[in-house]
Amino acid sequence: MLNATVKQLSLQLAQKKVSSAELTQFHLDRIARLNPELNAFVTVDAARSLAQARAADAQIAAGKAQPLTGIPVAHKDIFCATGWLTTCGSKMLANFVSPYDAHVVERLNAAGAVTLGRTNMDEFAMGSSTETCFWGPVRNPWDRARVPGGSSGGSAAAVAARMAPAAIGTDTGGSIRQPSALSGICGLKPTYGVVSRYGMIAFASSLDQGGPMAKSAEDLALMLNVMAGFDARDSTSLERPAEDYTRLLDASPMGDRAKPLSGLRIGVPKEYFGAGLGSDVGAAVEAALAQFERLGASRVEISLPNSALSVPAYYVIAPAEASSNLSRFDGVRYGYRAPEYTDLADMYAKSRAQGFGAEVKRRILIGTYVLSHGYYDAYYLKAQKIRRLIAQDFVDAYGRCDLIMGPTSPSVAFGLGSMSSDPVQMYLNDIYTVSANLAGLPAMSIPCGFGEGDMPVGLQLTGNYFAEARMLQAAHRYQLATDWHLRQPAGVE
């Protein structure tokens, strides 16, 4: 059970080799044992999870099972779920019990998945290390002195330490892909608009997208089949026919079993292999690219000339949207209210000063400044123009290739506290991930080897709009030929 994928567990449940109640209890026991040190989960409610598991078992017994029926899934603490404490990693929402379900949560519930608990995260998803949480930092299961990446670091650590077979996360600038890379698991950010943002606490609405995190590409496809879908309550949700993201997994375009990826053109951007990339990460990524070539894919050298501007533009656009989104936290309708204040303005200012942590305040200040009178054109409008240039770079590149591959993150997981004092250094970790959010493209990370300190390295695959199935196919074929994704950290047996 420990190393089984969602796909394998689903089969075992269908064959009644294990019940969902047993599977859920198995993972709850692991959480009880491992979580005190890793801090990946912030809320666990065994009775609630087990009740869902028994209901799933009844569905299975009645012959009404769907692929995720009875599978325990850990939820990032950013998805509103009725009756669950939904804190978004913040003191501001430390007492917030959601009165409604996010669309993604509704869909997982309807599919019979079991909510295994709520995972720790950077406060309001602002961070690349899962250290800015009100509930304390998460530790990387591969080396407990290091960070798991962020902001979905709790979800990544939960899957890596085999406390959950799968998890859900959100990605505004890399928050699914970077922790997946640093924790040695798989994670996918879909095309913007594919997964509804309804009930997902907003950070930067034009960039936010929910997605799955799991051990294999095949599992991501199964999860995305449930998570994706139109929802009228999200004004940016796309009305598209339902898609089976597993449909290409076993397809081989040329029918050649030895070279199942023949015809696939992989674009390798030269800008992703320059100064700033760790040599250990570069070597693992090059080895992965060679493996894809052995599987029949061809390699095309491409250029994304405006890559270096993606971090500066992102750190204008994301904080600008955040400063607007987070203005709702005012101590009036829900969340934290300061115990003492003199008048209404003082109540707002004190509630927000006491309820938000340092990184969240920093980003609200950046956003407020770039949107303030006299600075809008120089910063926000300029960043939006650069966003267009970055998106156009991808349009040009996809004229020459089908998928783009490169590193997910410039280094393996770094030490806890090693970047906390310098926000700019922390932001530069997002160099390879933010472009996909700015352009709205689907992107994923899969394990592809180990680097410094025997820490996992992630390979990033970026697809054209709605190319999730193609990305998943390529990743799945790679995973049939390699076993990086099945490695597990020592000490979690």
Partner 1 sequence: MSLSLQEVKRVAWLARIEITDAEAEAAQGHLNGIFKLIEQMQSVDTEGVAPMAHAQDVAQRLREDRVTETDQHALYQSIAPQVEGGLYLVPKVIE
Min separation Cβ 193 and partner 1, Å: 5
Please tell me which residue in 128, 151, 183, 435 is annotated as part of the active site: 151
**Residue among 343 and 493 whose Cβ is closer to partner 1:** 343
| Annotated catalytic residue 175 | yes
Min separation Cβ 132 and partner 1, Å: 13
Min separation Cβ 408 and partner 1, Å: 20
Closest by CA position to 442, among listed 424, 465, 419, 459: 465
Count the Cβ atoms, other than its own, within 10 Å of residue 95: 11
Please identify which residue in the block is written with the tokens 């009775």: 47
DSSP string, 353-372: HHHS-HHHHHHHHHHHHHTS
Min separation Cβ 110 and partner 1, Å: 20
Min separation Cβ 356 and partner 1, Å: 7
Please tell me which residue in 7, 19, 20, 76 is annotated as part of the active site: 76
Burial of 302 (0-12, 13-18, 19+ CB in 10 A): buried
**Residue among 54 and 362 whose Cβ is closer to partner 1:** 362
| Annotated catalytic residue 215 | no
Min separation Cβ 202 and partner 1, Å: 15
Strands 456-463, 443-450: pairing is: antiparallel
Burial of 389 (0-12, 13-18, 19+ CB in 10 A): middle
**How many whole angstroms separate alpha carbon 412 and alpha carbon 281?**
7
**How many whole angstroms separate alpha carbon 357 and alpha carbon 120?**
15
| Annotated catalytic residue 151 | yes
Whole-angstrom CA distances from 201 to 15, 96, 110, 122, 208 are 38, 12, 21, 13, 9
**Residue among 427 and 478 whose Cβ is closer to partner 1:** 427
Min separation Cβ 79 and partner 1, Å: 17
**Residue among 150 and 440 whose Cβ is closer to partner 1:** 440
Give CA angle at 365 (362, 371), nearest 5°: 140
DSSP string, 223-255: HHHHH----TTSTT--------TTTTTT--TT-
**Residue among 99 and 417 whose Cβ is closer to partner 1:** 99
**Residue among 395 and 481 whose Cβ is closer to partner 1:** 395
Can you give 192-218 as a three-state secondary structure string? CCCCCCCCECCCCCCCCEEEEEECCHH
**Residue among 30 and 352 whose Cβ is closer to partner 1:** 352
For residue 160, what are the contacts with CB-CB under 8 A and spacing of at least 6?
A: 140, 141, 142, 148, 183, 184, 185, 488, 489
Which of the residues are catalytic? 76, 151, 175
